[in-house]
């Protein structure tokens, strides 16, 4: 369940916060706004955790564990 979507505090990135409420392992498929250049799981302080996520087209898939709170940072080019 997506609980928040906001601009990152320190960049032009988009932060997505979600949690798994059914108590089951799952893969979350996220459709991203066009133009994403990178994505990564982060902690709630928006610091990257682990390896970058693979973006395929305008989608990224990330595993989520039972009752896990998950944050994903999606990077976009800096505006002019």
Mean pLDDT for back-to-back runs of 10 residues, the chain (80 residues): 93 94 96 95 92 95 96 85
Residue 48 within a domain: yes
CATH, residue 15? 2.60.40.1180
Which residues span the domain enclosing 30? 2-75
What letters, b where the CB count within 10 A reaches 16 and e where it falls short, cover 21-46?
A: eeeeeeebebebeeebeebbbbeeee
Query: What pLDDT, on the 0 to 100 scale, is given for residue 80?
Result: 46
pLDDT of residue 79: 64
DSSP assigned state of 35: T
- Domains identified in the chain, total number: 1
Residues 19, 22: Cα–Cα separation, whole Å: 9
């Amino acid at each position: 369940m997506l609980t928040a979507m906001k601009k990152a505090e320190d960049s032009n990135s988009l932060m997505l916060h979600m949690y798994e409420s059914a108590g089951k392992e799952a893969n979350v498929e996220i459709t991203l706004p066009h133009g994403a250049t990178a994505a990564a799981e982060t902690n709630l302080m928006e610091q990257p955790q682990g390896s970058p996520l693979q973006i395929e087209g305008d989608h990224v898939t990330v595993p989520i564990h039972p009752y896990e709170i998950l944050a994903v940072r999606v990077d976009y080019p800096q505006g002019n």
